[in-house]
Structure 1
Amino acid sequence: MESDRRSARFWGPEPDPSGPLERVGVSTSQYETYGPYGRDASVHTAETLPYGLYQDTYRPGYEAETSFVPEPVPVPVPEPVAPPPLPRQTPPAPGTVSPEPAPPRTPAPGGRAARRRRARSAERPESAVRRLLPQALVVAFLAGGTTAFVAQDKAVELSVDGRQRTLHTFADDVSELLAEQGVRVGAHDVIAPARDATLTSGDEVAVRYGRPLRLTLDGRPREVWTTAHTVAGALDQLGVRAEGAYLSTSRSRSIGRAGLALDVRTERAVTILADGRTRTVRTNAATVREAIEEAGITLRGQDTTSVPLDSFPRDGQTVTVLRVTGGREVREEQIPFQVRRTEDPSLLKGTEVVDQAGRPGLRRTTYLLRSVNGVRQKPRLLRTEVVRAPRTQVVRVGTKPRPVAVAGAEGLNWQALAACESGGRPHAVDASGTYGGLYQFDNRTWHALGGKGRPQDASAEEQTYRAKKLYVRQGTAPWPHCGSRLHK
């Protein structure tokens, strides 16, 4: 009895026995209950709202859903019957005997589940929804969160520069995965798949770091980037033909993140023409000189080639060896001297005195004579040097007016005297070098007559003037052999 009351209190408010019992659209037997004293229609008389006045948002899982709605049937309402008085609950007076306990109440037909259904049906729908909604939200949140948690977790394979590992992640794409794992990538690094690729469970993500390679390929330096770990892998990645090539380092050498300097010379075909023969060699030589040596050709003396010996031989190139013979030729030639003239007012006009005799210089020129493959070439100027510099000749020119006639010496045949003494030559000098000029003066006599320098350097007029002055002083004595010619 007490448990039934607790069940009724839990599932809804206890009905008022004094209220009327309304039966709408159902048979009377559906509202009949069993009280503690037998069949009693007044025990549970809570008012029940008819269907259609509100929307029921809750239905217990054990109630079958049905779309059947019965037609309302008018039912006669019986007269209410007053319930029997309940026993008093006051304790008995001292000295009295407690009455016998009431016999246990027989459960009503239908059991506890039926009573609970009737109690739930008596509840108002709003209170049931308010009580069950938080529980439903919690259950839905837990169920949805668990499903989302399981759906977002992905197992992927991540390989970073050859180091592979399996990990679980909630990243949506490759970029988020790399940021989550702290993997930094640069402009020359390779990521597969791309950064914006969506991740799903079971995907494989690979990151390969770029390495700088200072590559000199067939003499042409350049800087490239590679993701290979070895020299052989880098050559294969760059498409460099390594068969028969020269490598500055081992093919198995690893390439670190700092990079590597690599010199590669591929095998090339070079044709060499020498001594009337043609030779074709396959070589990975660094210079034309090395290729010629590999062909078994020796260069001697001034031999050279059609291309510079230190140049890089190209594939398919033809090199001609030039056999050069020859020597040097030295030629000397004079350099003429210059004459510098200065005026001298002490000398008669027309008189020139040489103070410094000029001397020609000497120039030496060296020419290179060559014969290429037996054909003589035009001499080529090699160098020029001055062996002796020329000396300038210094001459004084007289500006003094000519003297007047000498009294006592005019009317004589001075031309005949000059012809006898010097052959009529003003610059004549005897074999001993003592006498000079038209009249063969010695330097002492010339200076005594007022002459300057040497008599042979003076003009003919001045020499005749000085001869006349000498005749006035000494007569024909200065010319013992030719003096008689003056009077003819």
Structure 2
Amino acid sequence: MSRTQGGRRRAAGGHRGAGGRAAARRAGRRRQRAARPEQLRRLLPQALVVAALAGGTSAFVAQDKAVRLSVDGRPRTLHTYAEDVEELLADEGVEIDAHDLVAPEPGQDLVSGDRIAVRYGRPVTLTLDGERRRVWTTAGTVDGALRQLGVRAEGAYLSASRSAAISRRGLDLDVRTERTVTFMADGREHTVRTNAATVADALAETAITLRGQDTTSVALESFPRDGQTVSVMRISGREEVRDRDIPFPTVRRADPTVLQGAELVAVAGEPGLERTTYLVRTVNGVRQRPRKLKTRVVREPVARVVRVGTKPRLPQSVAGAEGLNWQAMARCESGGRADAVDGTGRYGGLYQLDQGTWHDLGGQGSPQNAPADEQTYRAKKLYVQRGASPWPQCGQRLNQ
């Protein structure tokens, strides 16, 4: 058997060799073929008379051949003057192409009694175990096509019945052969023979049930392969909340009212709170690494504020005012309280100085707001200037 080359055409429409006299004769016969029937009707009686007179069979009549032609399984017997199969097919209007089968070959010479078979090719879009391809077959049924293509179909799923005919327009055919798939679940093996289209369908043929978040080691919609082992993963999950302190920052601010080297905490500071939610999963009893879901700030931190002194320190002693009992006089004037203010609001501090006197001594603001050592320093300067007269009631305590 052989297939003709090129696209669909009449079988006698091309040359089989490089030319030559035989081909020329054949072409001449093809040109004369249309006129033969009428000529034969006129000449046959005369030829028979001549043959009878000559005592033999005419060579012209001897060219007639009785052959049996089967096209796609439909046989018929006919008489022909064609010299070869190709001419016969052309005479009968049988068109063939590269996917068709002709036996004997189109170039084979004809003799009376020959049997010629033509099988048309049919396109089949075959999806075999999930892999799609286009093939050609000369079989007229699904069963014949499977045998011709060498597809093992015992126990297979077929989208069309085996006896279904395949027209010359072709057919879409889905074939899923029987495969062995093993599922590992809960420490046990479950093996099935299946022609399922998906892992999920194969799993449904077992006694295994997926619950909640359970899944498989391969996608449930994937195609199950022969000999494949699929693990069933039992999954449980819960959310877990974790809190974390957000450290507070420290802000340092220069303060000219505080002596150099001194630091005062104005605001203590408070840490913030950050809350993170995690998903914690357990797969087949094994805890997995938590996966962060979300994070939010529950409470913003409050900054710690520190006042850093920039005020220059004053001398500790004043000439002419040392050796006196300043503590005794302070107890007498203010009860020893640096922030004391008299009932009139005019005098303040350890030594009950008025605002004007304080400023004359170089002080800033009010005396009762100044540190105790500065108040003592200013009071010593006043004593050098005026003696104990500014303190008529308590000045005598300086000498105790």
Who wins on radius of gyration, i.e. which is larger? 1
- Output the CA distance in 1 between the equivalents of 2:310 and 2:176: 92
- Output the CA distance in 2 between the equivalents of 1:162 and 1:292: 45
CA contact (8 A) 2:235 2:281 kept: no
Q: What code does the residue aligned with 2:77 have? A: T
| Other-structure match for 1:264 | 175
| Other-structure match for 2:92 | 181
What runs of 5+ residues in structure 2 fail to find an aligned partner?
A: 1-49, 328-348, 350-362, 383-398
What are the equivalent positions in structure 2 for 1:412-427 lying under 5 Å apart?
A: none
Residue by residue, what CA displacement relative to the aligned partner does 1:265-305 show, whole Å, maximum 9, x if unpaired? 22223333434444433222222232233222222233333
| Other-structure match for 2:78 | 167
- Output the CA distance in 1 between the equivalents of 2:264 and 2:76: 113
Shift in Å at residue 366 of structure 1?
A: 0.5
The structure with the greater share of residues assigned to strand is 2
| Other-structure match for 1:237 | 148
Are the structure 2 counterparts of residues 147 and 301 from structure 1 closer, same or farther at C-alpha, using a change threshold of 3 Å? same
| Other-structure match for 2:282 | 370
| Other-structure match for 1:319 | 230
- Select 1:246's aligned residue among 153, 157, 180: 157
The answer on 1:157 being equivalent to 2:54 is no
Matched residue of 1:269: which SS? strand
Residue by residue, what CA displacement relative to the aligned partner does 1:304-331 show, whole Å, maximum 9, x if unpaired? 3344333322233333434444534222
Shift in Å at residue 162 of structure 1?
A: 2.6
Matched residue of 2:167: which SS? coil
Q: What code does the residue aligned with 1:271 have? A: T
Percentage of identical aligned residues: 53
| Other-structure match for 2:120 | 209
Shift in Å at residue 464 of structure 1?
A: 6.6
The answer on 1:360 being equivalent to 2:272 is yes
Q: What code does the residue aligned with 2:160 have? A: T
- Output the CA distance in 2 between the equivalents of 1:172 and 1:450: 136
Residue by residue, what CA displacement relative to the aligned partner does 1:211-267 show, whole Å, maximum 9, x if unpaired? 221222222222221222222222222222333222223333222222221222222
| Other-structure match for 2:213 | 302
Matched residue of 1:229: which SS? coil
CA contact (8 A) 1:368 1:380 kept: yes
- Output the CA distance in 1 between the equivalents of 2:292 and 2:306: 42
CA contact (8 A) 1:406 1:469 kept: no
Are the structure 2 counterparts of residues 392 and 227 from structure 1 closer, same or farther at C-alpha, using a change threshold of 3 Å? farther
| Other-structure match for 2:294 | 384
What are the equivalent positions in structure 2 for 1:78-477 lying under 5 Å apart?
A: 147-325=58-236, 327-336=238-247, 360-372=272-284, 375-388=285-298, 390=300, 405=314, 468=374
* Relative contact order, higher structure (CA 8 A, sep 6+): 2
CA contact (8 A) 1:330 1:364 kept: yes
Q: What code does the residue aligned with 1:181 have? A: E
CA contact (8 A) 2:260 2:312 kept: no
- Output the CA distance in 1 between the equivalents of 2:165 and 2:105: 27
Matched residue of 1:237: which SS? helix
When normalised by structure 2's length, the TM-score is 0.55
CA contact (8 A) 1:406 1:465 kept: no
What runs of 5+ residues in structure 1 fail to find an aligned partner?
A: 1-138, 418-438, 440-447, 452-462, 476-486
| Other-structure match for 1:108 | none
- Output the CA distance in 1 between the equivalents of 2:126 and 2:74: 27
Q: What code does the residue aligned with 2:71 have? A: V
CA contact (8 A) 1:174 1:193 kept: yes
When normalised by structure 1's length, the TM-score is 0.47
- Output the CA distance in 1 between the equivalents of 2:58 and 2:266: 128
Residue by residue, what CA displacement relative to the aligned partner does 1:41-84 show, whole Å, maximum 9, x if unpaired? xxxxxxxxxxxxxxxxxxxxxxxxxxxxxxxxxxxxxxxxxxxx
CA contact (8 A) 1:230 1:253 kept: yes
- Output the CA distance in 2 between the equivalents of 1:338 and 1:278: 60
Matched residue of 2:96: which SS? coil
CA RMSD of aligned residues (A): 4.7
